Amino acid sequence: MIPALAFFAFSVGYALFSFLIAVLFRDEVIADVLGTVRSEPDVSLWYVGVIALALAYWALRAETRRGASRRRAAANVALVFGAILALHLGFTLFKTTMPQIVPYYADPYLARFDAWLHGDTDPWTVINRLFGPDIMLSLTPLYHGPWLIAAFLFPVILVACDHDHTRVKRYLVLYCASWIVIGNMIALGGMSVGPVFYDRLYDSNRFAMLTWTLRYAGVDGSTMGALQDYLWEMYSAGRESFGTGISAFASVHVSVATLVALYCGERSALLAFPAALFCAVILLLSIWSGYHYAVDGYFSIGVMALLWAYLRKRMEPEAGSLGLGGGALGGLQRVRKD
């Protein structure tokens, strides 16, 4: 059986913690939460709903094949969906509160380090020269299509297609880490907005050429451009909605893509290359679009790989059990010692 109840309890606990943090540092949090729940997404997400329904049916069948009654299987799948919603509500609450906890400060340092790391050249320019703006623009749907499905539905995919109980637990821990450790804990220590918002926040022209390149490529008329404008409008107005908040270091986009690559590579050698390619494309898009500095993605890949190696070594020999104590990772993992 999947650890659905523990995953749900952890996610609800995290959402409540994020709510308390938001109340401490912000005003009108309840109104913002209600607005988040009631608000419609800024882009059409009907395809995510269709895929979610298909995966829910697949997961129900998988649970019944594992010996669960239909009622128990339905409850488990419902708990997983509830956990996902609670996790992302908590993530949005915490992420939109982070600028009140630690003001943005790290962009000048990250920009300089990024350029130094790539031979005194901004890495987005290297990508633009290698692939050209037309190719990069044609790849942007991956950033808000397949990635979004993985970001929201990865736990359901685990339930639907993985019968290895220990591996499911490991990847649930990694899934939570990709959001909470990368997107909250580490991000809070390196508060930054990324190249695409750099000039707006710091009133500079440091990334004026990036802005011009994205406009020339046609990003303004794409979903990616609309989302970038929407994120800045929400930040400037001091408002929040589901999925909003600006934070560059470290990259959640890349951490989730790394999670997918690690999982696919562990499951099948045939899936390893396309999954690694997907991760590489998400990294390139993150840099080219200005959402992230290159180091944001490199750091996320490194952290996720280290966590994967640690959990694989720690949890493989015996079946651990999920718990709720001990921090962001420990809260979802308690390994039983004989």
pLDDT > 70? residue 331: no
pLDDT > 60? residue 153: yes
Q: Report the pLDDT value the prediction gives residue 324, as an integer from 0 to 100.
A: 39
CA-closest candidate to residue 241, choices 37, 87, 91, 88: 37
Strand partners, 321: 334
Domain boundaries, the chain: 102-330
Model confidence at 40, pLDDT cuts 50, 70, 90, reads low
Report for 30-34, 76-80, 158-162, 254-258: range of highest mean pLDDT? 254-258
pLDDT > 90? residue 294: yes
Q: Report the pLDDT value the prediction gives residue 332, as an integer from 0 to 100.
A: 47
Q: Give me the mean pLDDT over the 127-132 stretch.
A: 95
Q: Report the pLDDT value the prediction gives residue 330, as an integer from 0 to 100.
A: 47
Tell me which of 238 and 143 has the higher pLDDT: 143
CA-closest candidate to residue 170, choices 324, 333, 305, 7: 333
Q: Report the pLDDT value the prediction gives residue 322, as an integer from 0 to 100.
A: 43
Q: Report the pLDDT value the prediction gives residue 36, as an integer from 0 to 100.
A: 58
Q: Are 207 and 290 in contact (CB under 8 A)?
A: yes
The dihedral formed by the CA atoms of 209, 211, 212 and 217, expressed in degrees to the nearest 10: 120
Q: What is the distance between the terminal CA atoms of the chain, rounded to a whole angstrom?
A: 22
DSSP string, 221-283: GSHHHHHHHHHHHHHHHT---TT-----SS-HHHHHHHHHHHHHHHH-HHHHHHHHHHHHHHH
Q: Give me the mean pLDDT over the 101-127 stretch.
A: 96
pLDDT digits (tens, 9 = 90+) for 197-233: 999 999 999 999 999 999 999 998 888 888 888 888 8
Q: Report the pLDDT value the prediction gives residue 43, as an integer from 0 to 100.
A: 52
Average pLDDT, the chain: 87
- Report the alpha-carbon distance of residue 88 to residue 303 in Å, rounded: 21
Q: Report the pLDDT value the prediction gives residue 336, as an integer from 0 to 100.
A: 38
